[in-house]
């Protein structure tokens, strides 16, 4: 899956190496040299909530011995989007912000229920 997009300059300038950001439309952008081995793999999604932020972590089992972890903060609107889609597209970007790889993370019914509860979505 290739998703061509124009990434805004503020994201290009602020996305640090080995970090991820909730972008839009259920898309997460990650700048990393560590790339997934395949586009779809089993995963587990973990959600933590602090006072104002929702921290989402996807553990992607593309290699069962060395799973890939994607972690980012999201607002309520982004969580609504991924709950509606029942998935997240994680786009891995290279140093020049070129698309290197895409992984689609499917969310289970239980993960969606937890996200709804943590983000106070009815």
pLDDT digits (tens, 9 = 90+) for 36-89: 887 778 899 999 887 778 999 999 998 889 999 999 999 989 999 999 999 999
In a domain? residue 15: no
pTM (two decimals): 0.89
Is the predicted pLDDT of residue 13 greater than 90, yes or no?
A: no
40 lies in some domain: yes
What is the number of domains present in the chain? Answer: 1
What is the structure's pLDDT at 5? 65
Please classify residue 56 by burial: count the beta carbons closer than 10 Å to its beta carbon, then call 0-12 exposed, 13-18 middle and 19+ buried. buried
Can you give the residue range of the structural domain that contains 39? 20-118
């Amino acid at each position: 899956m290739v998703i061509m997009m124009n990434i805004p300059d503020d994201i290009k300038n602020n996305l640090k190496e080995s970090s991820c950001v909730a972008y839009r439309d259920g898309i997460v952008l990650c700048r990393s040299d560590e790339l997934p081995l395949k586009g779809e793999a089993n995963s587990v999604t973990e959600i933590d909530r602090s006072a104002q932020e929702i921290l989402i972590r996807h553990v992607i089992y593309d290699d069962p011995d060395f799973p890939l972890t994607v972690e980012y903060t999201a607002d309520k609107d982004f969580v609504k989007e991924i709950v509606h889609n029942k998935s997240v597209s994680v786009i891995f970007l290279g140093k020049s912000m070129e698309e290197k790889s895409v992984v689609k993370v499917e969310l289970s019914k239980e993960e969606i229920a937890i996200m709804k509860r943590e983000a106070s979505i009815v």
